[in-house]
Amino acid sequence: MDWERLLSTARLGQTRKTPKEGRTDFNTDHDRIVFSSAFRRLQDKTQVFPLAETDYVRTRLTHSLEASNIGRTLGTLAGRRILARLRGDNTNECTEDSGHGTAGSPSRRLADGTADGAGVNASLAGSSGSFATDRHGLSGDNGPSGHNGLHSLTEDDFGAVVATAALAHDMGNPPFGHSGEDAIREWFLSHPTGQEIIGQLPEACRADLLYFEGNAQGFRILNRLQFPDRAYGMRLTCAVLGAFMKYPCDASVMDSGQNAGGRYTKFGLFRAEKDSFAQAAEELGLIALRPDGSRCTGPDGTGQTPLAAWARHPLAYLVEAADDICYSIADVEDGFRRGRVTYDEVRDLLCPLIAPENNWWERSLEAMRQPTEQVEFLRAVAMGGVVRSAVDCFMEHEDALLRGEHLKKGLTRHMALATPFARLGEVNYAKVYQDPQVVEIEAAGYEVMDRLLTAFGGAVFRRYNGRMTTRDTTVVKLFPAIRHAAQDSLYEHMLEVTDFVSGMTDTSAVSLYKKLSGMTLGRG
């Protein structure tokens, strides 16, 4: 893989348009996500503390914004060092000192000093222009296939791609976080109606529901649901789609037991979206893999290419690191706010993450009187230390990642600060995630999701089979405008059910559950 292709500005289904001042293609992607309804819904989706009543505790929205900021710094620092290497500059130090994950340095150019040539799309929604697309409907403003010439790439391009992908990384999460994912899987596995549905699905489609995955739902939102009447949905650049894809494989890899040679513990693509991502992967030059994780170089003896997965886009490791850094450190801060972790524990956890030569922070900390202020300060400085360590690790493995090798469990497990960073997860699991409110509401979330799936999944299934009851007729009226055609498969009908249920916020899911159960009528 090479960086020129990996930072392609091509968009699936998007014709090329005249560049305009003000935004690069990657900035446009960022704006499309920020202004999307799916992103706004994250303000009422669980991070750690479901339905929290305090403003200090993070939601998925605040977590995503923080991850995006950290991602921008990670990408910018890595991009600076990558471009320095490509132009023969030996200046490789990470000089960014912001613990908040911001990167305010000006763009750096390659040797000829050429300004950023990335074109800017005129419309936030991405309406069509007048130029022809190639065989995949791909287009970009920097060449026939949207490849940035190396002369026009800047460190800010790297930062913008990682920031944008990190901004979107949780958009597919259902209500109640990971317990919501588990509830959807459990319903199709164990509920009588769910089992009947699975029994009628083609074998190749079953794994999407039995292993339902928020990561795959996120790509479905970006590629289809946000603009359902237009091919390829939000039409983000291929570079951002690639960086977003933490698990570039479909559920068949999980079902096969091979997991692409043990690379992936989850999947990132429903069967319905795999072909779309394959087009983006080809544009980016991602390495195709067989089920056992070996490189897919051509057809097998049957004349077919048993494609199962792809090697990750290298920037996906920085997106993953941004997520890991934010939730691991921020969850400790939220745990402190909730009284689950003491100030002394926070200090003992975060101080080992701060570079020892930066002793200036001790004087600043001593000048602060409020423990909450001290914790916020420690969180910021610790994040800065981990960011630098993660970037160092990324650069150490850059060549291997470009060859398609897999860095198991990500950068934060291999960086110099891996041991003290892992301690955060241990304390979070033992103290923060076991908060009674977390456990109680997660348990209630199973009941809410089960009730919603039984009502809507059952009604849509019986309608598909021509067995609707009078109750089903009423329930279906609550279902949003049906997008499928009469000839659509049961698989597509069931994906629309999971689209509907997983797209709800925590509050709307509880509200609808109460109404369906007769606990409240009308508003309430």
Among residues 197, 249, 189, the alpha carbon closest in space to that of 219 is found at 249
Q: Does a structural domain hold residue 489?
A: yes
Angle at 36 between CA 51 and CA 387, to 5 degrees: 70
Query: How is the chain split among helix, strand and coil, in percent rounded to 5?
Result: 55, 0, 40
Extract the residue ranges of the chain whose pLDDT is less than 70. Answer: 16-21, 46-57, 90-149, 255-260, 297-306, 357-358, 481-487, 521-524
Q: Does a structural domain hold residue 202?
A: yes
The CB density around residue 431, as the number of other CB atoms within 10 Å, is 17
Q: Are 156 and 27 in contact (CB under 8 A)?
A: no
Q: List the domain range (segments joined by +) for residue 184.
A: 171-212+438-506
Q: Are 315 and 162 in contact (CB under 8 A)?
A: yes
Written in H, E and C, the secondary structure of 422-451 is HHHHHHHHHHHCCCHHHHHHHHHHHHHHHH
**What's the pLDDT at 509?**
93
**What's the pLDDT at 48?**
54
Q: Does a structural domain hold residue 199?
A: yes
Query: Which phi and psi angles does 240 have, rounded to 5°?
Result: -70, -40
Concatenated DSSP letters of 89-140: ----------TT----PPP---TT-PPP-----S-SS----SSPP-TTSEE-
Q: Does a structural domain hold residue 29?
A: no
Q: What is the CATH number of the domain that holds 502?
A: 1.10.3550.10
For 148, the 3-state DSSP assignment is coil
Q: Does a structural domain hold residue 200?
A: yes
For 30-102, strand residue ranges (E) read none
Q: Does a structural domain hold residue 487?
A: yes
**What's the pLDDT at 432?**
85
Q: Does a structural domain hold residue 25?
A: no
Domain count, the chain: 1
Q: Rounded to two decimals, what is the model's pTM?
A: 0.86
**What's the pLDDT at 368?**
78
Q: Are 422 and 413 in contact (CB under 8 A)?
A: yes
**What's the pLDDT at 348?**
94
Among residues 167, 168, 173, 158, the alpha carbon closest in space to that of 65 is found at 167
What is the token pair recorded at 297?
């170089």
What is the sign, positive or negative, of the torsion defined by CA atoms of 136, 138, 144, 147?
negative
Q: Does a structural domain hold residue 456?
A: yes
Angle, helices 155-168/25-34, rounded to nearest 10 degrees: 20
The CB density around residue 333, as the number of other CB atoms within 10 Å, is 23
d(CA 332, CA 292) in angstroms, rounded, equals 38
* Cβ neighbours of residue 485 closer than 8 Å, sequence gap 6 or more: none
DSSP state of 295: B
**What's the pLDDT at 255?**
65
**What's the pLDDT at 98?**
45
